[in-house]
Amino acid sequence: MPTTENKLLRENIRRTLALRAGVDPDSNAFAEATLGVWHEVEVRLTPVLGAGGIDALFRRSLHITGATYSWLALTTDDENSAVLRADLKARLAGHETAVACEAGYTLLVTFSGLLATLIGNSLTERLLNPVWVAPLTLSEEEKSP
């Protein structure tokens, strides 16, 4: 993913989480925001990749993000994705606000990057832009090499 597009994606994710978490958010608000965004991503991508594909990418994203936030690393091979999401929410909510915000943000950036590697930047952008709150886009000048 080119640097400008990657920066734009990161800004869109950060803005979306901040807006969803609300004014004066705590770690629980960022946990809710992260899981809310994840739910929308899951709904948009399941028809394209299937539930198993989405789950595999989500688990891989957790594994990668766990290198930075060890408390996010998977501790079980539980096949139930609802249990996994509830566990993620509890883990995020159990940390300081700034840490929960950064961990949720990093997880979503990691997932989006993995998805772009799998299906390409253009399709990733088309599928995920509706999830981001008023997504920023590249001008034609910024798209030119």
How confident is the model over 11-28, as pLDDT tens digits?
999 999 999 998 899 999
Check residue 143 and give its pLDDT: 44
Q: Which two tokens stand for residue 133?
A: 């709150």
Checking if the pLDDT of 76 tops 50, the result is yes
Q: List C-alpha distances in Å: 127 to 33, 103, 133.
A: 19, 23, 14
Instruction: Output Rg (C-alpha) for the chain, integer angstroms.
Output: 15
**Cα(first)–Cα(last) distance of the chain, in Å?**
13
Q: How far apart are CA 30 and CA 82, in angstroms?
A: 18
Q: What is the distance between the alpha carbons of residues 100 and 26, in angstroms, rounded to a whole number?
A: 9
Kindly report the pTM of this predicted structure: 0.86
